[in-house]
Amino acid sequence: MNPPKTDARRHHDPEVRGFASDNYAGAHPEVLAALALANGGHQVAYGEDAYTENLQRLVRSHFGPTAEAFPVFNGTGANVVALQAVTDRWGAVICAESAHIHVDECGAPERVGGLKLLTVPTPDGKLTPELIDRQAYGWDDEHRAMPQVVSIAQATELGTVYTPDEIRAICEHAHAHGMKVHLDGSRLANAAATLDVPMRTLTNAAGVDLLSLGGTKNGALFGEAVVVLNQDAVSHMKHLRKLSMQLASKMRFVSVQLEALLARDLWLRNARHSNEMAQRLAEGVRAVHGVEILYPVQANAVFARLPHDVSERLQKRFRFYFWDEAAGDVRWMCAFDTTEEDVDAFVAALKEEMAR
């Protein structure tokens, strides 16, 4: 059978890559191949398909025998569904002031999830038991939202990584106060690659109750999953996913992408590569006088401070974002398809603009 003809036209240069976000990258060829494999014929809708069934097996192999995955469309949806599942209507979530759920989700956890975020300033995006205690109080005070969950991100929004011992200490501290622990794992693969440990070491083995498992930033076309690790900690996940408009009718096309990432080592290969490119970028930047790297480069992000006018000129050559424009802080992200040539060209352009 000949492939169908299409009138589609390419509207971009596939050779152009920047450093704005790992979301800018396309889908990994192995993921696209998996999507094509899952296409054709009929499969039961809403998650009762063969691909979602097999995804459950893979998730258990990575996260333990009690793990259950609930595929969703995107990361914000995963976080909102997960946090709803472990809070009451009067519940609150303790998180870092820089957390994605607080800064970059348009208030969705609060407005859609109906919960309260209790934020804590951190020097590097990472919570500690001591920092958690700044908000962990007032459970019997009816005038205050009740702290019920601690949410951490791995890697954090500032590109830093929790060690397994740090996560374990947070989980033990939270559980001692009767709170659950949620992990925003949109870049969990990058953290596991940095530490050279299985993802289970950073999640169920450390005491995490549930997590949002990222796919999009690591080579998927779209799709994430809420992974429940502690079945006793959550309730009504299926209903919450539907209520939050995150139930895919053709779920096989979300599940097969996660299957492609998890079945062998694609998730790890992609994460290791993007991390290595970030390290290469950081090494090049450190050699440029007048540019300061702000945080340890532990995943696939480099945060730097440089003159504002230099950044503006550089942005005309490569896409990236200001992180704190007033301070001159920028964020440079690497992806699974970032090349050494991309990094070297960017560093060369940075040197040129700094010398002007």
User: What residues does each domain of the chain span?
Assistant: 29-262, 266-355
Rounded to whole angstroms, what are the CA distances from 308 to 44, 137, 164, 325, 330?
A: 54, 42, 37, 8, 9
Cα separation, 70 vs 211, whole angstroms: 11
Q: What is the DSSP letter of 119?
A: E
Cross-strand partners of 224: 72
Whether the pLDDT of residue 159 is over 90: the answer is yes
Query: At residue 242, does pLDDT exceed 60?
Result: yes
pLDDT per position as a tens digit, 84-142 = 999 999 999 999 999 999 999 999 999 999 999 999 999 999 999 999 999 999 999 99
Q: How far apart are CA 20 and CA 70, in angstroms?
A: 29
Structure tokens at 245: 């408009």
**51-76 average pLDDT score:** 98
* pLDDT confidence tier of residue 213, bands split at 50, 70 and 90: very high
| Cα distance from N-terminal residue to C-terminal residue, the chain | 58
What is the model's pTM? 0.96
* CATH architecture entry for 266-355: Alpha-Beta Complex (3.90)
pLDDT at 21: 97
Q: Are domains 29-262 and 266-355 of this chain identical in fold?
A: no
Q: Is residue 85 within 8 Å of 113, Cβ to Cβ?
A: no
The answer to whether the CB of 164 falls within 8 A of the CB of 202 is yes
Question: Which architecture, in CATH terms, is 29-262?
Answer: 3-Layer(aba) Sandwich (3.40)
